[in-house]
Amino acid sequence: MSQVNDLSAPLDTQDDTQDGTQDAQAQPLLSVDGLTVSFKAGRKDWITVVKGIDYTVGRGEVLGIVGESGCGKSVSSFSILRLHNERTTKYGGSIRFAGRNVFDMSNRELLDLRGGDIGFIFQNPMSSLNPLMTVGSQLRETVRAHRRGLGKDEIEQRCLSALRKAGADTPEEWMGKYPYQFSGGQLQRVVIGMALINEPKLLIADEPTTALDVTIQMQLLKVLRHLRDELGMSIILISHDMGVVAQTCDRVAVMYRGRIVETASAARLFSDPQHPYTKALLSATPPLDGPEPKRLKTVADSMAEIEAAYREQEHKEA
Amino acid sequence: MATQHRPILQVNNLCKDYVTRGFSHNAANIFHALKNVSFEVDHRQTYALVGESGSGKSTTAKIISALEKPTSGTVVFDGDNYTDDSPRQLRRDIRGNIQMVFQDPFSSLNPRKSIAGALLEAMEIQNVGNTKRERLDAAESMLERVGLGSWALNRYPYQFSGGQLQRINIARALVVEPKLLILDESVSALDVSVQAQVLNLLQDLKEEFALSYLFITHDLSVVRFIADRVGVLRKGTLVEEGTVGEVFANPRTDYTRNLLDSIPLPDPSRHQLAG
């Protein structure tokens, strides 16, 4: 947290304009090092929820973070934008976005980052939109907050093209409607459009399809893949669904009790999982083809193994 | 009985219309939530009803559990047509035999009532057990059966996790000794590994208490694991029906095929998002 690198920051960000493929290895877009997040639990008590995690996201890469509820996947992702209440949260380690540590940023800089270079999609689209404003006015507000001095027509064009990229069929019509007039899948498209509107370099999607039907989920996953393939956007996809992650991500990090227990390419993680927890998660999903199991294996079945591996890692990191 | 085959539940030509009126009274909009839905659930069988949101799955469940009256059609439980029964008749003959477990485990329990309170109330209404002591014992052994214990009796819903609460809801449904359990998206809100535990539990309980399940879900991978027969609902119509093996191997409609193809497989080498 102590390193100050404000001076070098503007130089680093210039690299963004270059083609990302080559320096994806050299300098990742986002690198999280030893991140810890603690919440205030009493007058002097702090609970550490994220216990030192490291990961990187390259340019144009889709990183999946999987784990069960309470493992810290959302908490760590909210930390990238410092969305937790600062008075009751303690951060440790560093999160560098395009070379700059977000923990050294001022509030002003953070405001520019949120919805500017980093877009965020939450699980429930209904609660991320204002029910009393039309979708259009909310989209225009997002543009105006980040790009001052744009003309009316330009703002309108940006909104429409963002909606189109998110897969809206009639964006002109959508602009004049209120959130309640949309279905869940359409609303999630609006929210994705809003996250895209300022052409972010990184999109963080926290369980974006959990509340949706499978057919709609498939369409939205295609939209996400398209954003990466066509626009070179980096994406962090948080999910508890192993199927979603397998189909969408290049690399996957598995989280368990505040730690990343395994990181691997999607191909390797699913064909050859190393950590007992990853194995347990995979076998807990009822299979769609092949032999039908009489009983499903659960995480509880291999708890001893998982805890042993977890403790070993804890010991190593301490 | 006279016939050798009598299903535990028969749903015959069920229709349900909802009428929405605008501000002007002439403009009535009729929404057909269910159109001529018929199926049967056999004894000790699990029948899965699948479909997307708005397809009428929950409406069907509500009509079967007599929380709602159909516009036309009948529901028959073990030979007894209870479609037009009075509330008193329903309470006597149906409510104790058909129980329901809902999707959201938190909102289906009264937050101000202890777990013992919730279970005892259900038993008192259905006249299960003669004394309070007897009922408490039944509640305790049922909680143990679902993987909790007597320690849970005097606690309140907020002190449990979602998976534990869903076990409590299952226990609450089973203490009145029903024959048919309607599970309306009961495992959809749970994490995969907790979901696996609850699914295993449901399989065991089915054997032990000779239960039949009507399992309502949008998740086809769960259907394959738990169900014997499956019906696919689309916009209020039952478009396909058959054994799980048949439907999964050879879906007859494009809709079912599309539904099956939309499940993301945990196998990155099968590129479902391409094209």
Superfamily of domain A9-117+200-317: P-loop containing nucleotide triphosphate hydrolases (3.40.50.300)
Question: B206-264: per-residue pLDDT in tens?
Answer: 999 999 999 999 888 899 999 999 999 999 999 999 999 999 999 999 999 999 999 99
How far apart CA A190 and CA A178 sit, in angstroms, is: 11
Note the pTM of the prediction, 2 decimals: 0.84
Long-range contacts for B32-35 (Cβ within 8 Å, ≥24 apart)? B32/B236, B33/B59, B33/B236, B34/B59, B34/B60, B34/B63, B34/B70, B34/B236, B35/B236, B35/B237
Residue B19's pLDDT band (boundaries 50, 70, 90)? Answer: confident
Q: What is the pLDDT of residue A26?
A: 65
Q: What is the mean pLDDT of residues A125-137?
A: 92
Is residue A6 over pLDDT 50?
no
**Shortest Cα–Cα distance, B18 to chain A (Å):** 19
Hey, which residues 244-283 in chain A have their CB within 8 Å of chain B?
A: 244-248, 266-267, 270-271, 280-282
Sequence ranges of the domains in chain B:
1-97+181-261, 104-177
CB within 8 Å: A300 and B266 = no
Q: What is the pLDDT of residue B117?
A: 95
Residue A23's pLDDT band (boundaries 50, 70, 90)? Answer: very low
How far apart CA A138 and CA A141 sit, in angstroms, is: 5
Residue A169's pLDDT band (boundaries 50, 70, 90)? Answer: confident
Percent of chain A with pLDDT over 90: 66
Residue A93's pLDDT band (boundaries 50, 70, 90)? Answer: very high
State the distance between the two ends of chain A, measured CA to CA, in whole angstroms: 18
Residue B24's pLDDT band (boundaries 50, 70, 90)? Answer: low
Structural contact between residues A110 and A81, judged by C-beta atoms closer than 8 angstroms: yes
3-state secondary structure (DSSP) of residue B251: coil
Judged by average pLDDT, the poorest of A13-17, A69-73, A81-85, B123-127 is: A13-17
Which of A124, A223, A288 to probe the B interface (max B CBs under 10 A)? A288
Q: What is the mean pLDDT of residues B29-48?
A: 93
Residue B155 one-letter amino acid:
R
Residue A286's pLDDT band (boundaries 50, 70, 90)? Answer: confident
Residue A70's pLDDT band (boundaries 50, 70, 90)? Answer: confident
More confident residue, B66 or B3: B66
Q: What is the pLDDT of residue B226?
A: 93
Q: What is the pLDDT of residue B27?
A: 66
Is residue A298 over pLDDT 70?
yes
More confident residue, B39 or A122: B39
Is residue A203 over pLDDT 70?
yes
Is residue A10 over pLDDT 80?
no
Q: What is the rounded average pLDDT for all residues in chain A?
A: 88
Q: What is the rounded average pLDDT for all residues in chain B?
A: 91
How far apart CA B115 and CA B125 sit, in angstroms, is: 16
Question: B155-175: per-residue pLDDT in tens?
Answer: 999 999 888 999 999 999 999
Q: What is the pLDDT of residue A15?
A: 41
Percent of chain B with pLDDT over 70: 96
CB of A145 within 8 Å of any CB in chain B? no
Q: What is the mean pLDDT of residues A140-156?
A: 92
Residue A9's pLDDT band (boundaries 50, 70, 90)? Answer: very low
How far apart CA B116 and CA B172 sit, in angstroms, is: 9
Q: What is the pLDDT of residue A4?
A: 40
Q: What is the pLDDT of residue A13?
A: 40
What is the CB neighbour count within 10 angstroms for residue A198? Answer: 19
Q: Nearest Cβ partner of A225 from B222, B268, B273?
A: B273
Hey, which residues 146-175 in chain B have their CB within 8 Å of chain A?
A: 162
Question: What are A121's strand-pairing partners?
Answer: A205
CB within 8 Å: A214 and B262 = yes
CB within 8 Å: B199 and A296 = yes
The ipTM (two decimal places) reads 0.80
CB within 8 Å: A241 and B264 = yes
Q: For chain A, what is the radius of gyration of the CA atoms?
A: 20
More confident residue, A250 or A169: A250
Is residue A210 over pLDDT 70?
yes
B212-217 and B180-184 strand pairing: parallel
Q: What is the pLDDT of residue B188?
A: 83
Structure tokens at B235: 């916009």
Residues in chain B within 8 Å Cβ distance of A297: 196
Q: What is the mean pLDDT of residues A269-275?
A: 95
Is residue B75 over pLDDT 50?
yes
How far apart CA A190 and CA A71 sit, in angstroms, is: 29
Residues in chain B within 8 Å Cβ distance of A301: none
Q: Nearest Cβ partner of B266 from A216, A240, A282?
A: A282
Hey, which residues 209-238 in chain B have their CB within 8 Å of chain A?
A: 218-222, 224-226
Residue B104 one-letter amino acid:
D
Question: B184-210: per-residue pLDDT in tens?
Answer: 988 888 888 888 999 999 999 999 999
Residues in chain B within 8 Å Cβ distance of A247: 264-265, 268, 271-273
How many CA atoms within 13 Å lie on the side-chain side of A16? 20
